[in-house]
Amino acid sequence: MSKKLLVPVAVILACAVILAAAGAGLAGTAAANAEKELGEMISYLLPGGGEFEEIEYKGTDSKITNVYKGEGGYVLAMTTNGYVDEIKLLVAVDNDGVVKGYTVRDIHDTYGLGLGVQDDLYFLVGLMNSKGDLAVNSNIDAVTGATVSTKGVTKGVNAALAAAEAMN
């Protein structure tokens, strides 16, 4: 190897070691921040729900990934099918079987269309305070240009309601 290359290669290796060490050192911080954010989101979705604890989901719906139980009800984490990819949701259901909150955690649908399931007012109002049996174009309006994603989210909310009812 040429002596001219030795110094740049050594600098690159030193930088790689420093970056790897920094990444390993910050991994715990990132995990703690993600856990804190999830806790805040759960409390926001089901206000007055008290302390939440993760419980084992014993149902058969494979789309439900985690269940958090509080005094006021459940918050269910799940995936559902969108137009482009899976949509990750949190759905809050109170002890009376009513949807009290919902948020999209991750979505990769078309910007300006499929992403409307996150913030379309009419769609959100249709989901809130529902008790199940939601059906797009029946008792809930689809987000314009996002029918597939709307149906996926609606199925997810129905699944959350059914799972919460089964756990009560």
Predicted confidence pLDDT, tens digits, the chain (168 residues): 567 777 777 778 878 778 877 777 766 777 788 888 888 989 999 988 788 999 999 989 999 999 999 999 999 999 999 888 899 999 999 999 999 999 999 888 777 777 788 888 888 888 888 887 888 888 888 888 888 889 999 999 999 999 999 988
- The whole-angstrom distance between residue 124's C-alpha and the CA centroid of its chain comes to 15
What the block records as the tokens of 149 is 């994603």
Phi first, then psi: what are they for 26, rounded to 5°?
Answer: -90, -10
**CB neighbours (10 Å) of residue 92?**
28
Q: Whole-angstrom Cα distance, residue 130 to residue 28?
A: 38
Dihedral (C-alpha) 3, 8, 14, 16: value to the nearest 10 degrees?
Answer: -130
Query: How do residues 8-44 score in pLDDT, each as one tens digit?
Result: 777 788 787 788 777 777 667 777 888 888 889 899 9
